[in-house]
Amino acid sequence: MMTDVEKKKFTYYPGCSSQGSARHLDESLRAIAPELGLELEELDDWNCCGASVGHVAGGSLPNLSLTGRNLANAAKQGKQDVLTGCAACYLNTHAGNEKIKKDVALRGRVNEALAAADTSYDDDLQVRHACEVIVNEVGLDKIRERVTNPLTGLKVASYVGCQTVRPFANTDGGGSYDTYDDPEFLDNFTQACGAEAVDFEVKTACCGGSVSVMNPEKTLHLIKRILDAAKASDADVIATPCPLCQTNVEMYQDAINKEFGTDFNIPVVFYSQLMAVAFGLDKEKAAALQRNTIRSEKLENMAKA
Amino acid sequence: MSERKPGVYLCRGCGIGDAVSVDELEKVASSEFKVPTCRQHDVMCSSEGVAMIARDVADGTVNQAIIGACSQRVMTDRFQFGDTQVVRANLREQVVWSQPAGEEDTQMLAADNIRMGIAQAAKINAPVAAVHEDFSRTILVVGGGVAGLNAAREAARTGYDVILLERTDRLGGWAIQWSKRMPHRPPYRDLQENDVGLLVAEVEADDAIRVLTNATVSKTEGGPGKFTVTISHGGTEQIERIGAIVVATGWRPYDPNNLTHLGYGASPDVVTGVELESILAAGAAKRKSDDQPVRNIAFIQCAGSRDPNHLPYCSSICCGVSIKQALQVVQNDPDASAYIIFDELRTPGTAEEFYRQAQEAGVIFMKGKVNSVEGDLTVTYHDDLIGEDIPLMGLDMVVLATGMVPNSTNPDQPDPEKGAEQLLNDIDPRAPLDFVSEAAEPETVEAQLTTELPTTSDAGASPIGGGSILNLQYRQGPHIPILADGFSDSHYICFPYETRRTGIYTCGPVRRPMDMAETAEDAAGAVLKAIQSLNNASQGAAVHPRVGDLSFPKFGLDICTKCRRCTVECPFGAIDEDENDFPILTESRCRRCGTCMGACPVRTISFDNYNVAMVSDMIKAVEVPDEFDEKPRILVLACENDAYPALDMAGVNRHQYSPYIRTIPVRCLGSVSMLWISTALESGFDGIMLMGCKSGDDYQCHFVKGSGIAKERMSKVGETLKSMMLEEDRIVVEEVSIADSGSIPKVINTFAERIEELGYNPFKGF
Amino acid sequence: MTQAVPEQSKKKYDLGFARWVYDNIDGGDKLSMCMQCGACSGSCPIGVQMDHGPRKLFMMIRAGMKEAVLSSNTLWNCTKCYRCVVRCPRGVPVTYILGSLGTKAVELGYADKEDTRSFARSFWWSAATFGRTDERLVTARYYFSFGLVEGIKKGLANLKIALGMVKTGRMHIGAPHKIKDTRGLQAILAKAQEIESRAGKG
């Protein structure tokens, strides 16, 4: 646990979506970091992690080398842990890091590739997800302390999704901070902000991931499940930690309405946006609420700045 | 017995005093039966209560203690007074715990139990053991394979002399030829060296074990503690005195020539697991056809097993053996692949680790039934997990995992001149009786006998032919009785090593398929029983289930009609016929069930402490109200192995049932004499229930045949009842197990309702 | 059932396939421990839309059904939700295996017509060229990989979404974001490719 004075430093890996569809995650995360005692120093010249499909066209070792380059750069910035807010970046970088550290021959091959750019990764860095860091390093008490503008009366469906917790949340390397079938961290964040975490039993259902991007016709029904449950619980907003979930669940509501005759119009926000509002920060510069294509009037009215 | 001095001791504890009037019960003893010594105590099993009785015994006031308290099954260690006879009257489990307190019917039930106890005491005598001074401490082990070797070693280590017979010229059986063993030590993953050779060396070096190879038994006479066994050995015969016998004759592989549908015979590279074992013992796996290394091998499980056309049963070890052999192949050659095609894969207990080891090593397991095996070794099977027929092509060898056939008979020898038909009869679950059961038509059983049993080429036309292992010179024939699948008949739940011949124990694959590690344990178990048997026999005491019982049936030959029912019906062949055709008992072979007693039409067989007259008097001691009191009376004869305990358990669980039953414990339903039925009817009982263990071919009867025999006798009673103008369903036989305490009240109450429907016994009051 | 029909004629059953998978696929060594319990197929959110659920696919691998396995859509429909991975009682890394099989399927020419392959190529082009994934360019290239007409159709169908993204500042207008050392990255990737083709497993 940190005091107000000391801050814990992390090498921050924003990921490609931070410059596009998930800008609001990056902006709100950077805004709340100092409140939570986290100092985020951006990873120098970071590249794409490869996401879900990188290895398909790129091949296995080239795909892993993307992570290798990121880690090599991070190592140059110091021994502090690498932190990312994006679930896919976390999966690829954390898993890649574990593999490289465990398999000496593999490490050799990655470094042989990195040598082509005069760099190498010989260190023992840790790669962590922002939510795990908030649970394990910051703690709920600290969040509550920072809440000057509780989101009283806001009903939030806390949608955890898949890759944030699976497969690492219940492993030692992943911080052992939650379970797979009924993770509670997001509900806890919601409640710490003063909002109401409604019953939401599909909290770990899949939004379709990258398949929803390529072939939404295959996965609309999966997204609909999530929306149905949120509506049934009378949620004002759906909160999520994952860039792809946020985009998928938000942007396909029209297509779902057309296909299934529904009338969904549920705002989908990041937990970091909720926290920014709850901490009394600016609703645009910090909480980035203007970035959501489906706006939540209720949440925006609660913002103090 | 000299003058009988009974004392009645009534306990008020455990709720008895609160539910019935113990004073009234005392009056029954003192006024009705004039018992001079009657006492009460709040806690009879306490040191004071026990001391109270002991004082009366010590000063000679009492030499028979009738204790009205808890069930006879409990507190037996407290209620022991030297040689004094103790009779127990159940006032707790079967009265105050299963009947409402304070009710008149409850009081009447308690009073009748006291009456029966007193009547029993009037007839009971202390048993005097038949002891034989010259008993043998030598154990005969028949069979020199893993089972026999372990048995011999265990017996010798425990301090007994052993004679070990082996019919071939060397010890070690099948297992000494195996290449490797399945793991039998933690972590249960790795193949282990075949150590049977070491076992053989150990046995051969042991002075206490006399090994005879090329030896068989030509005659066995006598009984446990004093068997006389004639051994035929290298052309000569020698006679030995033996205390107990362990039969460890093992198994032989199922004949693969019956498996042409699985490709056997179509190619030399379709082999059995046993054949593969010799190949592996000689080195790496090589094809028989061209000596090339085996790179791709498939194992077909359940080859000729679990199949009504072959062996109907599972041989339990074949899956483990195939896993072992598959592992050997892939570990010897990293480029080799092994496929195991199974229907159900059986890897019990620690074998699960072995299965995982095989998976890790890349052995592929496929679930489904094999459709065909071609001459080019293509195996086509229907994969249940994919839902398609899959051809496995390019195999070098196909292995049929065949099962084990027990050597219950000696396959090298012809059928004995007499007695072979008795073996055949005995596997018929209705034998030796001829009645027609509702369950099976005679033709069906006959058909089962001919189609279910396998034919093996090395045993002649029928597998149940072949020589007798022990050539018992018993009236019931030379064989040890077997079950329909060829394995020796034993009450597998309670007494696994036991055979139906006392003092003779089976172990190893002759009694059920098992692997080497299980066999070693099994042999130890059988030897322990053998030791118990010969030691008890030397004391004149029974073994199981009536451990320690000194009583034995005595035959009043003066009125014997030589009808032979006792010699035929004894489940254990304990009774032979002498030269005058009279029955002659070998006590140490007797299990004291009393089936002979129940069979005798002139009731001339009796035990010192259990006889027809005694139970008859107990029945007559019950006070049967006349019909105007509207209280029927039902006699329950409950066998002491399952039924009586079930009734006790019903009481422990406070289940309530009809107060009109009067229960008498019997040793076995087989011991129930028809006189008791007629006495009960004459005394005015309205209904009679025989409650005992399950009969039939998956019997639970602890004396094997007793329950079934009782059922058959009662089926014939119907005619007699009709001639007396009594309804057939006044007498029922109910099969219960000790676990049925929850349903027993329904069984009793349903019968009580039926009796009420039928009305009172017209002979009441006569 | 099959989408891609490979050019060469291949055997329907190839008994060596299982061994090849165990040795060459990421997580393949764990595949031998699968006990066919079906927890993976039962947990899969999109399982019923696959030609074969993962459990059945693994059994087909064991039966040597190489063609059917590498041409199934199982490999492409997986949403990478990892539910199978956390639930497998034998610890078989199902998602990783399917992913690695997909990579091999592409290499061996089984996935030429799969949408995912087109998308993956567009994605990789962006990552390798700029070091970053430009979502708008990737999507555009993906749409037009179906042909000009199809591309326009798809674009129009998603126009509202695209405009929404532009309005909220979530679709980058202008030159694509790039890393500084694109040359270094490309050298690394080229080298990695070279190593992979000589070694076999990456």
Q: Give the domains, in start order, of chain A with CATH numbers.
A: 8-129 (1.20.1050.140), 148-302 (3.40.50.11810)
**What is the mean predicted confidence (pLDDT) over A264-293?**
96
Q: What would the pLDDT profile of B131-189 be if each residue is shown by its tens digit?
A: 777 899 999 999 999 999 999 999 999 999 999 999 999 999 999 999 999 999 999 99
Task: Give the class (CATH, top level) of B554-606.
Answer: alpha beta
d(CA C100, CA A95): 15
The answer on C137 and C178 residing in a single domain is yes
Give the C-alpha distances (Å, rounded to integers) separating B574 from B223, B497, B503, B553, B592: 8, 18, 11, 11, 10
| Res B370: pLDDT | 97
Of B212-226, B645-659, C7-21, C169-183, the one with minimum mean pLDDT is C7-21
Cβ–Cβ gap B386/C56 under 8 Å: yes
Q: Calculate mean pLDDT across residues C13-24.
A: 89
CB B707 within 8 A of CB B692: yes
Residues C120 and C165 in one domain: yes
Is the bond preceding B432 in cis, omega lying within 30 degrees of 0?
Answer: yes
Task: Assess whether C37 and C94 both reside in one domain.
Answer: yes
A223 contacts in chain C (CB < 8 Å)? none
Domain that residue C84 falls in? 17-107
Per DSSP, B303 falls in state T
CB proximity B389 to C under 8 Å: no
Alpha helices in B540-591 (DSSP H): 565-569
Question: How many independent structural domains does chain C possess?
Answer: 2
Tell me the pLDDT band of B321, cut-offs 50, 70 and 90: very high
Cα B340 to Cα B361: distance, rounded to the nearest angstrom: 13
Chains A and C touch (3+ CB pairs under 8 A): yes
**Range from B43-47, B426-430, B448-452 carrying the lowest mean pLDDT:** B448-452
CB B511 within 8 A of CB B487: yes
What are the boundaries of each domain within chain B? 1-126, 138-252+407-413+467-539, 255-402, 554-606, 610-766
Answer yes or no: do C97 and C28 share one domain: yes
> What's the confidence (pLDDT) of residue B169?
94
Q: What is the mean pLDDT of the segment spanning B603-620?
A: 96
What integer is the mean pLDDT of C94-122?
90
Could you say which of C83, C107, C131 is where a domain stops?
A: C107
Quick one: pLDDT band at residue A294, thresholds 50, 70, 90?
very high
Read off the tokens for A164. 């944030």
Counting one residue from chain A and one from chain C, the pairs whose CB atoms sit within 8 A come to 209
Choose the final residue of a domain: C107, C138, C160: C107
- Alpha-carbon distance values, A289 to A292, A298, B426, C173 (Å): 6, 11, 89, 20
**Per-residue confidence at B419, pLDDT binned at 50, 70, 90?**
low
Please give the residue of chain C at the shortest CA–CA distance from B381: C63
Point out the residue among C15, C19, C56 whose CB comes nearest to the CB of B392.
C15
Q: Does B367 touch chain C (CB under 8 A)?
A: yes
Three-class DSSP category at B304: coil
Q: How far is CA A33 from CA A30, A279, B747, in A?
A: 5, 11, 76
CB-CB under 8 Å, C55 with B385: yes
Element (H, E) at B634: strand B634-639
User: Considering the domain boundaries, does residue C121 fall inside one?
Assistant: yes
Could you tell me if A167 lies within 8 Å of chain C, comparing CB atoms?
Answer: yes
Report yes or no: A251 at the C interface, CB cutoff 8 Å.
yes
Q: Assess whether pLDDT exceeds 50 at residue B411.
A: yes
Q: Which residues of B17-31 are buried (b: 16+ CB within 10 A; e: fewer)?
A: bebbebeebbebbee
Higher-scoring residue by pLDDT: B466, B510:
B510
Query: Is C10 inside a domain boundary?
Result: no
Assess C66–B contact: CB distance below 8 Å, yes or no: no
Neighbours of chain A (3+ CB pairs under 8 A): C
Q: Does the pLDDT value for residue B421 go beyond 90?
A: no
Identity of the residue in C13, C15, C59 whose CB atom sits nearest the CB atom of B385: C59
* CATH for the stretch B610-766: 3.40.50
* Neighbouring-strand partners of residue B7: B37, B65
Domains B138-252+407-413+467-539 and B255-402 fall in the same CATH topology: yes
Check if C146 contacts B (Cβ < 8 Å). Answer: no
The residues near B428 (Cβ < 8 Å, ≥ 6 apart) are B445, B449
Claim to verify: residue C60 and residue C124 sit in the same structural domain: no
Contact assignment for B366 to C62 by CB distance below 8 Å: yes
Helix axes B351-360, B318-332, angle to 10 degrees: 30
Helix (H, G, I), strand (E, B) or coil at B36: coil
E strands, B374-472, in order? 379-383, 388-392, 397-400, 404-406, 409-410, 467-468
The class of domain B255-402 in CATH terms is: alpha beta
Evaluate whether residue C8 is within a structural domain: no
Residues C180 and C132: beta-carbon distance below 8 Å: no
What whole-number distance in Å separates Cα of residue C89 and Cα of residue C30?
A: 12
Does one domain contain both C22 and C84? yes
pLDDT in the model for residue B417: 63
Residue with the bigger pLDDT between C202 and A204: it is A204
Residue B309 has pLDDT above 50, yes or no: yes
Identify the CATH number of the domain defined by range B1-126.
Answer: 3.40.50
Rounded (10°) CA dihedral C133, C134, C136, C142: -40
Task: Examine the pLDDT at A4 and tell me if it is beyond 70.
Answer: no
Shared-domain flag, residues C97 and C132: no
Model's pTM, two decimal places? Answer: 0.87
Burial of B759 (0-12, 13-18, 19+ CB in 10 A): exposed
Residue B637 pLDDT more than 90?
Answer: yes
Whether residue C35 is found in the same domain as residue C76: yes
Which chains border C (3 or more CB–CB pairs < 8 Å)?
A, B
Residue C6's pLDDT is what? 29
* Mutation site for C-interface testing, chosen from B364, B389, B395 by largest number of C Cβ within 10 Å: B364
**Contacts with A56 from chain C: Cβ below 8 Å:** 99, 102-103, 106, 116-117, 120, 124
Q: Are B632 and B760 in contact (CB under 8 A)?
A: yes
Per-residue pLDDT, averaged over B660-680, amounts to 95
Say yes or no for a CB contact (<8 Å) between B385 and C32: no
3-class DSSP assignment, residue B89: strand
Percent of chain A at pLDDT above 90? 92
Q: In this predicted structure, what is the pLDDT of residue A252?
A: 96
Cα B363 to Cα B359: distance, rounded to the nearest angstrom: 5
Q: What is the pLDDT of residue B424?
A: 57
Co-location of C31 and C75 in the same domain: yes
What digits encode the pLDDT tens for the residues B518-550? 999 999 999 999 999 999 999 999 988 999 899
Residue at which a domain ends, from C78, C107, C136 = C107
Q: Which residues of A204-237 are buried (b: 16+ CB within 10 A; e: fewer)?
A: bbbbbbbbbbbbbebbbebbbebbebbbebebbb
**pLDDT higher than threshold 80 for residue B464:** no
- Give the model's pLDDT for residue B348: 86
For residue range B746-766, list pLDDT tens digits in order.
999 999 999 999 999 988 876
Query: Taking all residues of chain C, what is their mean pLDDT, rounded to a whole number?
Result: 89
Work out the pLDDT band at A37, boundaries 50, 70, 90.
very high
Residues C89 and C170 placed together within one structural domain of the fold: no
Query: Is 50 exceeded by the pLDDT of residue B332?
Result: yes
pLDDT value at residue A71: 97
Q: Which two tokens stand for residue B387?
A: 């839902």
Averaged pLDDT for residues B103-127: 96
Beta bridge partners of A5: none
C139 and C179: one domain? yes
Of the listed ranges A263-267, A290-294, B25-29, C109-113, the least confidently predicted one is C109-113
C18 vs B364: CB contact, 8 Å cut-off? yes
pLDDT beyond 90 at A227:
yes
For the record, the structure tokens of B38 come out as 């009657």
Task: Tell if the CB–CB gap between C192 and A23 is shorter than 8 Å.
Answer: no
Amino acid at A82: V
Mean per-residue pLDDT of chain B: 90
Q: Does domain B138-252+407-413+467-539 have CATH number 3.40.50.800?
A: no
| pLDDT for B587 | 93
- Shared domain for C26 and C93, answered yes or no, is yes
Give the chain A residue nearest C93 (alpha carbons): A167
Residues comprising chain C, all counted: 202
Distance from CA of C35 to the nearest CA of B (A): 9
Comparing alpha-carbon positions, the chain B residue that sits nearest to C57 is B386
Q: Assess C60–B contact: CB distance below 8 Å, yes or no.
A: yes
